[in-house]
Amino acid sequence: MSEYTPQDIASHKSRDDLWIAIHGKVYNITPYIRDHPGGVDVLLDTAGTDATEAYDEVGHSEDADEILQSYFIGTLKDAQEHRPKNKTVRVIQQPAKSMAVVSKSPKGSRSILKKIALIATSNVGVALPVYLFFSSGGNVDIHKFLPKSLPAWPRSLSIASLQQSTAGGKGSFTTGFTTATILMGTLAALAIPKLSALVSPDSGFTKYPPHMKSRRAPKANPHLAKGFLNPKDYKSLPLVRKDELAPNVYRFVFDLPKSTDVIGLPIGQHVAIKAVINGETVSRSYTPTSNNTDLGRLELVIKCYPDGLLTGKYLANLQIGDTVQFRGPKGAMKYSRGLCKKIGMIAGGTGITPMYQLIRAICEDEADETEVSLVYANRAEGDILMRKELEAFAKAYPKKFRVWYMLDQPEKGWKYGSGYVTPAVMKEKLPGAAPDTRIMLCGPPGMVNAAKKGLAGLGFQPPGAVAKMSDQIFCF
């Protein structure tokens, strides 16, 4: 393993010869300049230096770490351990909550219980209505002393009928006591059922008829189901089909272990492919065009550049029956219904694959009302990938999806756009800047960087160095 000094690294700081050091390791990232999502300028700012702090501050993904390892050439002499800056953490103590639980009864029930208790326990409550009843010759309405919610006292009760049971003929203590006993006994008989109903725990679902059906549970989202993929370990799958869709562009189809298996890939995420090429381990990430509704298979559309380390020297030479290692799901995007009302997309070349994945999921979901507008740029008409599928969605779901093509070299009679995707094209073909609108970009770095600048001029918030789902402009 080679060892380099800071002076050695400092002599490699040009666009055509660019070295950096990160965490004591030295990398020659010259071949990666054109593919860097953040653009060339970001790399040139740290060229020939120890870029550990800048690399960590951005917060690169696992994909970036894997790509970086493929450019490792040696170690940095006398490298010092980099420690992240300490951040002050303020602990906010929450006020303690009382553990006491006070059960409350409805106001009506408390009122009735209170009245019953007063009548049943108070001597005055017994004697006063009875005394007034007898002393007035039966002319006092005893019902005004009782709760209105109780059934009416029998009005046929008379002084005469009560006096016949006594010897004195006049209201006496015995007569009053006997009458009070009858009164309270009747009151208790009438009150007990009411009281029992008020304090009974029979409530909630038990009070509904047994024949009522429960509500149906919502259907599980198939795109969130776990499947074959593992985010930490690579797994092998055999290649069962390989179709050339355009010059150097292939559709690769791999079989899952069982015909009922799913990939286990949320919409918007991707997989990593790893291979050993000329004794060097190389990995790259790609977005499948299949999803969890496609049982038993994983499908990818990839452009294999002749000089590409993984695509040109490995994937382009795959034969039916060869196995490929996959790991995932990976990525910052995990689309779900309701993310926003409108989505604008700008794709270039094979950058259509993550866009197609989202378009398909939105169109095939009846409950998803998101409106999608796609501007798809290519060099020539023959380079347009997934055209048949895209136009089928546009025809079947005109309210959800529309597509506009841009070509560098259009032939005569071409009915779509030509040239670059300019701010004027974006303004005409994509939704305007709004809180409920997202723009998604995927394609060559030059096109993506130009699109970000143009969109910022149209009022969209520029994205950070690392893509987040909350970004108004999201870069795959």
The pLDDT profile of the chain, 476 residues, written as one tens digit per residue, is: 788 998 998 999 888 899 999 988 999 988 887 777 666 777 887 888 988 888 877 666 666 777 888 888 899 888 777 666 554 444 445 554 444 444 444 444 455 545 544 444 444 444 445 445 545 555 555 555 555 554 555 544 444 444 454 444 445 555 555 555 666 666 556 655 555 555 555 544 445 455 555 455 556 777 777 888 988 889 999 999 999 988 888 999 999 999 999 999 888 888 999 999 888 888 888 989 998 888 999 999 998 988 888 998 999 999 999 999 999 888 878 888 888 999 999 999 989 999 999 999 999 999 999 999 999 999 999 899 989 999 999 999 999 999 999 999 899 899 999 999 999 999 999 999 999 999 999 998 889 999 999 999 999 998 877 777 788 999 98
328 to 228, 231, 257, 266, 401: CA distances (angstroms) = 9, 4, 16, 10, 28
Is 245:385 a contact under the CB 8 Å cutoff? yes
Domain 3-76 identical in fold to domain 223-330: no
Cis amide leading into 329 (omega within 30): yes
Binding-site residues for FAD, please?
Answer: 284, 286, 301, 303, 353
| C-alpha closest to that of 347 among 377, 372, 371 | 377
Q: Which fold has domain 342-475?
A: Rossmann fold (3.40.50)
Is 247:379 a contact under the CB 8 Å cutoff? no
Residue whose pair of structure tokens reads 């409530």 in the numeric block: 203
- DSSP labels for 305-359? -TT-TTTTTTGGG--TT-EEEEEEEE-S----TTS-SEEEEEEEGGGHHHHHHHH
Is 336:326 a contact under the CB 8 Å cutoff? no
Residue whose pair of structure tokens reads 């679902």 in the numeric block: 205
User: Domain 223-330 is classified in which CATH homologous superfamily?
Assistant: Translation factors (2.40.30.10)
Does domain 3-76 fall under CATH 3.60.21.10? My reply is no
Instruction: Kindly give the interhelix angle for 387-396 and 352-364, rounded to the nearest 10 degrees.
Output: 30
pTM of the model: 0.58
Active site residue ranges: 270, 286-287, 442
d(CA 179, CA 186) in angstroms, rounded, equals 11
Cα dihedral value 41, 42, 48, 53, nearest 10: 160
Residue 316 sits at φ, ψ, to 5 deg, of -65, -25
Binding-site residues, please?
Answer: 284, 286, 301, 303, 353
For the chain, the domains span 3-76, 223-330, 342-475
Residue whose pair of structure tokens reads 């550990």 in the numeric block: 52
According to DSSP, residue 50 is labeled B
Q: Bridge-partner residues for 276, per DSSP? A: 281
As a whole number of Å, the end-to-end CA separation of the chain is 35
